[in-house]
Amino acid sequence: MTAAVLTQRSERTRRRVRTRSPLWFAVTEGVRSALHSIRAHAFRSFLTALGIIIGVAAVIAMVSIIQGLSYAIGQQLQGLGSNSITVQSYTTMENRLQGRIARLTPDDLDLIARRVEGIQSITPIMASGLGQVRYGSQTATAQIIGTTYSFQDVAQYFTASGRFISDSDNATRRRVVVIGETVRENLSLPADPVGEFVQINGEWLKIIGLLEPRGEILGNDLDNRVILPFSTMQALSGNRGRPPDIQIQLNVANLAEMDAVVQRIARLLRQAHDLGPEDEDDFQIQTAEQLTSTINSILTNVTVVMGGIVGISLLVGGIGIMNIMLVSVTERTREIGICKAIGAKRHHILFQFLLEALVLCLIGGLFGLLIGYGIGALAASLIPGFPAAHTPLWAVLLALGFSGAVGIVFGILPAAKAANLDPIASLRYE
């Protein structure tokens, strides 16, 4: 290799050194020194970062499980449509203790259907809770619901095979049912159960449709349902001295008129129920958006509270970081004295030890992130019917950011101690 080539390479090297940023050089050298120190005391570094690892893992596992649940609920509620309104009776505790139970009746349904403009579709829902459904020698427990043809549009329930109940079924009190996939499986019905007969409350009804699978929400199996015509449900419930308590569900034609429709329904029901100005509503009107907002608010509060509790372990980990860094400063006192003797400034020493604490915390945060996501995914998979874990980006950034903040806050005291050491006394330290 010629001298000219060596000279050119030497010149390029000098240019790179001159153009390199002093700050960038300090950062890279500090990280390299920190990694070297961590490798030199690997087991001690692992024990030091263990508090950070456990804290971040707990936070990520908890957040991933709750956010997975929130995401699944949001997906289920989207099926209701943003223009959906649900009206149901509401009894205060005081009235309940006095035996005055609020009710919504078919008359309320007719009043809303006739007097409120802007309604696209409306349907009554009469639910008798869990009931026994029998097919041959098989018996299953399912939710029995009485409703009308409009239910499939309002609640987004459609059939995978056969047909949904019709207005003529309701008008003639036809003994027909539409069942969910869970009911079909529990009763060992054929893959296409249309045409089979099941027994409910001692009455035989013909299956005319199988619903599309909907999954679970908050432990409620949406496929474990049997849907009857509303009038048939009333007949099977027997003669009563008063009309049944129903739930009313509807869709508005124009989303911009949602608030106006809600206010109109409230005024009509208060008038129909003879409620005075000081009386509380004996009904509840809830939109799909309000329901989603309420659930998300609850889950957010749970996430914040649990995150705050679990975050205490991060503070404990930070104390461990500070303790071990103080030990490291004592061990490297002579090294610090040599660095200062050859020209290292106070801020160089401060930056080096602070960066070492920061790197140690970030490494612990990364390991905690991976472990936490694994724990969350495993826990969600072991719980039957529970949605998959979902870790949002903000949770990842928050965990790593908090880990870095712990490293800076709890590393500043040892770093300041190292920076303030007297170089002569440090060189004499044994």
Q: What is the pLDDT of residue 73?
A: 67
Of the candidate ranges 60-69, 129-138, 186-195, the one whose mean pLDDT is the lowest: 60-69
Across the chain, what does the average pLDDT equal?
79
Would you say 148 and 164 are in contact if contact means Cβ atoms under 8 Å apart?
Answer: no
Residues 6+ apart with CB under 8 A from 311: 55, 59, 402
Would you say 360 and 407 are in contact if contact means Cβ atoms under 8 Å apart?
Answer: yes
Whether the pLDDT of residue 20 is over 60: the answer is no
Of the candidate ranges 47-61, 189-203, 327-341, the one whose mean pLDDT is the lowest: 327-341
For range 180-192, the mean pLDDT: 91
pTM for the predicted model, two decimal places: 0.60
Dmax (CA) for the chain in angstroms is 112
Q: How far apart are CA 66 and CA 303, in angstroms?
A: 7
Q: How far apart are CA 411 and CA 359, in angstroms?
A: 11
For range 226-239, the mean pLDDT: 84
Which structure tokens are listed for 168? 């003529």
Which structure tokens are listed for 77? 């509620």
CA 264 from chain centre, in angstroms, equals: 34
Identity of residue 91: T
Q: How far apart are CA 395 and CA 67, in angstroms?
A: 10
Beta strands in 72-113 (DSSP E): 84-89
Of residues 25 and 206, more confidence is placed in: 206
Whether the pLDDT of residue 177 is over 90: the answer is yes
H runs (alpha helix) in 256-332: 258-272, 288-310, 312-331
* Exposure string for 20-30, b = 16+ CB within 10 A, e = fewer: eeeeeeeeeeb
Whether the pLDDT of residue 312 is over 50: the answer is yes
Strand 176-179 relative to strand 203-211, pairing: parallel
Domain ranges of the chain: 23-74+298-428, 91-281
pLDDT, tens only, 89-123: 888 777 777 777 888 888 899 999 898 888 888 89
Q: What is the pLDDT of residue 17?
A: 44
Of residues 182 and 342, more confidence is placed in: 182
